Structure 1
Amino acid sequence: MIKILHNPRCGKSREGLSLLEETGNPFEVIKYLDNPLAESQLTELVKKLNIAPLDLIRQKEKIWIEQFKGKELTDAELIKAIANNPILMERPIVISENKAVIGRPPQKIIDFLKK
């Protein structure tokens, strides 16, 4: 089943959710700010996205700038930072069984669903 990691306060996330709704296919909405992903889940997500953990981080977020910017962090430390501060995670993210995509721009979701 398709899943979307969704933040209802984010316009791009709402747009991604709308795109999924338009397909008519079943999917699960995970409000990751209410139910943060564990470090193990984030590690798996990074693998599915085929990106470095740093690429999963919203580097313009206030918490990133104040607490992490300019520090040399390992991948494990970056994952821990996201787990402890889920607002840092890029959004929306659409996940299938063994692949995922960050829906920025939203066209990436459409392309992902066609595969």
Structure 2
Amino acid sequence: MTEAQGQQVIDWVKEEPKSLKKIQIKIVEEWKLTVSKDTIKRLIKKINMRWKRVRRGVAKTPDEWEIEVKLPILEELKQQEKRGEIEIGYLDEMGLDSKPCIPYAWQEEKTTIKLPPIEGKRLNRVC
């Protein structure tokens, strides 16, 4: 395999990080070469890619207007707490999904692939 072909394989892995089988099929279709999964693994490990868990991301980021409205209110509440007018308690939230399966994929070092959050039944618990 040439250096240019190796770079193309790395690009394909970045496009399709979950399945080396699909990469093998592309290699056969493009260049009529038979390459083992181990060869592909050696190639992508040279550029510090790792086989690790994919993470679920946050559902959405707040809108600008929402931040502009809520931050001053939060600051006012903190000031009231400092003056002793109110007492603020902080809570933590934990969510359990009905679909716990989290796949693995090839990822570059110090990066994480984020999946969208699961749509469906979810049990939330406030601690």
Shorter-chain TM-score tier: under 0.3
Q: Normalising to structure 1: TM-score of the pair?
A: 0.23
Instruction: Identify the structure with the greater helix proportion.
Output: 1
Give the structure-2-normalised TM-score.
0.22
Q: Which has the higher strand share?
A: 2
Q: Which has the larger radius of gyration?
A: 2
